[in-house]
Amino acid sequence: MKNSRKRKISKKKVFILILIIILLLAIGGLCVWKFVLNKDGSPKGKKITAKLEEKVDVVDLESKTRPLAISINNTPVAIKVQEGLNKAFLIYEIPTEGSTARLIAVFKTDEDVKVGTIRSARHNMIDFSFESDAIFVAFGWSHYAKDDLQSKKVINYIQGMVGEGGMWRDNPEDLDSEHTVYLQTDKVKNYAKDSKGYSLESNPSDTIVLKYNVIDVDLSDKEGAMVANHVSIDYGSVTNDFDYNPDTGMYTRIVNDRITVDHNTKEPFTTKNIIVQKIKYNRADDGYYWNLHTVDSGDGYYITNGYAIPIKWSKSDRKAKTKFTTLDGEELEVSDGRTYIEVQVTSRDTTIE
């Protein structure tokens, strides 16, 4: 009887011990879940790392693909035949002689894109093309641009007027011939590599002009912030308006009161960011073409997500990147998305409301 009672007591102790062990394991697991792991089972701190590893969508910051910087026709009559601009990650609008303006569309993509219409080069376009280590592409040139490109060879370039790059004419709207030239980016790249010996690769950091934030930039509490649901930028022969759509977070480009659309896809041309760069200029020696003071400093505005702030810009030499800063001197961060840099002479007005 005594031995039987001892065995029963022993089994009871073992059972209690097992219960204690199970209870301790449960408490330990709860502590790990609460203090060590996130709710999704990932280690604490993992989510912060994941945010840092998020990538910008508008352009691959790690890609070695060398950009193309293409001179785009922006004459009022030819705006309706523009194509491919929504595939560019960066677009400059620069003032030219006669109070006109042209675009430089910068493409850093392996996608083959039809782009048009292509127009002639101005020497100041080269200054902006340097900033992304791009191959500069045009159809025709001013004598100043021709001297820089053909004689001095200051930058790698493709000149369609002499048969380079496989450009062709198409005239769906019965326009004058200067408004009819198109290209395919793959043809231009193949010509650049095979016929001119240019490298199609570049150091990724050399190709990116702006500092991107993967999260939408909120300007509402920044110094000098103002509502920017509508932006109007005067160039003389054209006035660019950008209207903000809060549902998409994008600005639609409007020129001379008409929404601009891709002639092929019929999609409106839109942008996430607008930078207004106020710049000085003088007439060149021939009294006709303009010299933009790109190597200089000045004021401007940065506009995104329905707000604008005043900014500063500076460029140390012709081949350097333009630096954009907030009023307190911090490097400007822009939202993840396409950017239009509107280079506007200081004598013309920008309206933000």
Lowest mean pLDDT among 23-27, 81-85, 144-148, 339-343: 23-27
Q: Please say if the pLDDT value at position 319 is more than 70.
A: yes
Nearest C-alpha neighbor of 269 from the set 85, 114, 111: 85
CB 272 within 8 A of CB 335: yes
Q: What is the mean pLDDT of the chain?
A: 90
Look at residue 119 in the predicted model and tell me its pLDDT. 98
Q: Which two tokens stand for residue 316?
A: 């140390």
Q: What is the CATH number of the domain that holds 237?
A: 3.50.90.10
Q: What is the pTM of this model?
A: 0.85
- Does 315 score more than 80 pLDDT? yes
d(CA 230, CA 225): 14
Confidence of residue 199 (pLDDT cuts 50, 70, 90): very high
> What is the band of 12 on the pLDDT scale with cuts at 50, 70, 90?
low
Q: At residue 225, does pLDDT exceed 90? A: yes
Is 256 inside a domain boundary?
yes
Q: What is the pLDDT of residue 47?
A: 39
In a domain, 29, yes or no: no
Residue 269: pLDDT band (50, 70, 90) is very high
Residue 157's nearest CA partner among 116, 129, 117, 124 is 129
Residue 278 has pLDDT above 90, yes or no: yes
C-alpha 326/C-alpha 199 separation (Å) is 35
Count structural domains, the chain: 1
350 preceded by a cis bond (ω within 30 of 0): no
Q: What is the mean pLDDT of residues 44-71?
A: 76
**Lowest-confidence range among 41-45, 127-131, 151-155?**
41-45
At residue 54, the pLDDT reads: 77
Residue 131 inside a domain? The answer is yes
Parent domain of 214? 68-352
- Residue 34 belongs to some domain of the structure: no
Residue 327 placed within a domain? yes
Instruction: Please indicate, yes or no, if residue 277 is contained in any of the structural domains.
Output: yes
Calculate ∠ Cα 216-218-221, nearest 5°: 170
Condensed to tens digits (0 to 9), the pLDDT of residues 130-184 reads: 999 999 999 999 999 999 999 999 999 999 999 999 999 999 999 999 999 999 9
Residue 155 in domain: yes
Please answer whether residues 132 and 64 qualify as being in contact, where contact means their C-beta atoms are separated by less than 8 angstroms. no
Residue 46 has pLDDT above 50, yes or no: no
Name the least confident of 42-56, 195-209, 258-272. 42-56
Residue 313 in any domain: the answer is: yes
Residues 6+ apart with CB under 8 A from 257: 241
